[in-house]
């Protein structure tokens, strides 16, 4: 067995993530042109899908986005603190309705729109708004079948009636109505149409109590890209993954939709070994070399966001050539370089373009039975980012 190794890898080639904010702005422009009659709510939850919450949100605001969507109150408040102007609406939809009055009140003072998906949430928001003496903008969330957040049709009448009474009191203003479809990533599935029928019935009930909505949103990235605008129910669309250049539609690339990947991830190869055919490598000898060749060691592992079971069909690119990932550990992974004796310090492109080769987040997602959004989010906190 022969090997080469080096202890002085150039620090400029340390593992890192690069976020192309220009690509993010271009993607926002592309989506807006595809949906000229719809308002765009840019979803930046999960630290903007691992791309950096504040940096990404500010770039989207620069691109003209008028509304942002996040999961938590903490994300919403961070955006306001970072300088997102009040003219840009921020909707937060995931927060506890109990033992949380102070935080809800803080969000109201910061002009955060709040989603209400239960009677408990409605009571908490009304209570907090009354305590601070400020009007709060509310989006009602309906559970049309996903079984996650929102109010089911069986008790929707009660919520709509209570929301109308609270609005009449002057503490809250109902401005939005929304749902998340069970097959949001499969727009052609007939379940979506059944759930939209439920949504329309719920909308009619709410309107019967005098509620009027300035933002109705049922569609996300995949549906917005694949269905005619006339089939996108509501005046607003929530676009998240597509903005970051990850195709939300299975079997298609971002480039197919005219989008550019925003995140690239690279790392150096810090050791190269020559092994003979038949050599078994990895814990439990999980991989067997079918021929003589080189193995490269990359200093990233599942502690850094690389999925542990990625070694089932994913590649990286080195010098414009694809090489299979063959074993993943906590802080490092191995790639099969074949007969290509690349030098130590050569850069492995984990996500992004390398010459004519592009490593797509969805390729890695498919290798672990998931999607590209899980991959880009994994890299969010584990690597230093440059913009």
Active site residues: 45, 283
Q: Are 272 and 344 in contact (CB under 8 A)?
A: yes
Q: Which residues contact 316 (CB under 8 A, 6 or more apart)?
A: 298, 322, 323, 325, 335, 348, 349, 350, 359
Q: Are 222 and 185 in contact (CB under 8 A)?
A: yes
- Tell me how far CA of residue 290 lies from CA of 99, 216, 280, 309, in angstroms: 60, 57, 10, 20
For residue 138, the SS3 value is strand
Kind plus residue range of the DSSP H or E element containing 166: helix 153-169
Q: Are 173 and 212 in contact (CB under 8 A)?
A: no
In angstroms, the CA 153 to CA 209 distance is 15
Q: Which residues contact 135 (CB under 8 A, 6 or more apart)?
A: 129, 170, 171, 172, 173
Q: Which residues contact 277 (CB under 8 A, 6 or more apart)?
A: 289, 290, 291, 292
In angstroms, the CA 55 to CA 60 distance is 9
Instruction: Enumerate the H helices of 35-135 as residue ranges.
Output: 45-50, 53-62, 73-81, 101-109, 119-132
Q: Are 191 and 144 in contact (CB under 8 A)?
A: no
Q: Which residues contact 8 (CB under 8 A, 6 or more apart)?
A: none
In angstroms, the CA 255 to CA 271 distance is 34
Q: Which residues contact 376 (CB under 8 A, 6 or more apart)?
A: 49, 50, 51, 244, 246, 263, 351, 361
């Amino acid at each position: 067995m022969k090997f080469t190794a080096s202890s002085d890898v150039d620090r400029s080639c340390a593992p890192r993530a690069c976020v192309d904010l220009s690509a993010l702005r271009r993607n926002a422009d592309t989506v807006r042109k595809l949906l000229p009659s719809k308002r765009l709510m840019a979803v930046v939850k999960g630290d903007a899908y691992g791309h950096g919450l504040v940096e990404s949100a500010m770039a989207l605001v620069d691109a003209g986005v008028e509304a942002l969507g996040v999961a938590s109150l903490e994300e919403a408040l961070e955006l306001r603190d970072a300088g997102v102007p009040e003219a840009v609406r921020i909707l937060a939809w995931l927060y506890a309705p109990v033992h949380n009055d102070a935080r809800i009140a803080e969000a109201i003072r910061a002009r955060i729109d709040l989603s209400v998906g239960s009677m408990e949430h409605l009571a908490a928001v009304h209570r907090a708004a009354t305590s601070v003496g400020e009007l709060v903008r509310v989006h009602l969330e309906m559970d049309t079948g996903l079984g996650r957040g929102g109010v089911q049709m069986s008790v929707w009448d009660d919520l709509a009636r209570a929301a109308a009474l609270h609005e009449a009191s002057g503490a809250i203003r109902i401005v939005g109505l929304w749902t998340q479809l069970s097959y949001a990533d499969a727009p052609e599935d007939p379940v979506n149409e059944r759930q939209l029928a439920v949504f329309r019935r719920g909308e009619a009930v709410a309107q019967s109590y005098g509620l009027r909505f300035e933002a109705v949103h049922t569609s996300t990235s995949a549906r917005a890209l694949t269905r005619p605008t006339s089939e996108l129910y509501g005046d607003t669309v929530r676009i998240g993954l597509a903005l970051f250049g990850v195709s939300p539609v299975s079997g298609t690339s971002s480039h197919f939709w005219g989008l550019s990947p925003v995140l690239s991830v690279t790392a150096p190869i810090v050791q190269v070994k020559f092994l003979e055919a038949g050599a078994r490598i990895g814990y439990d000898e999980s991989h067997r070399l079918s021929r003589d060749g080189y193995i490269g060691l990359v200093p990233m592992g599942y502690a850094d966001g690389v999925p542990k079971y990625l070694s089932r069909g994913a590649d990286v690119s080195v010098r414009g050539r694809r090489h299979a990932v063959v074993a993943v550990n906590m802080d490092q992974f191995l790639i099969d370089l074949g007969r290509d004796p690349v030098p130590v310090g050569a850069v492995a492109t984990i996500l992004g373009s390398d010459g004519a080769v592009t490593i797509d987040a969805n390729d890695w997602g498919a290798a672990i039975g998931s999607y590209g959004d899980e991959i880009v989010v994994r890299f969010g906190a584990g690597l230093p980012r440059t913009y």
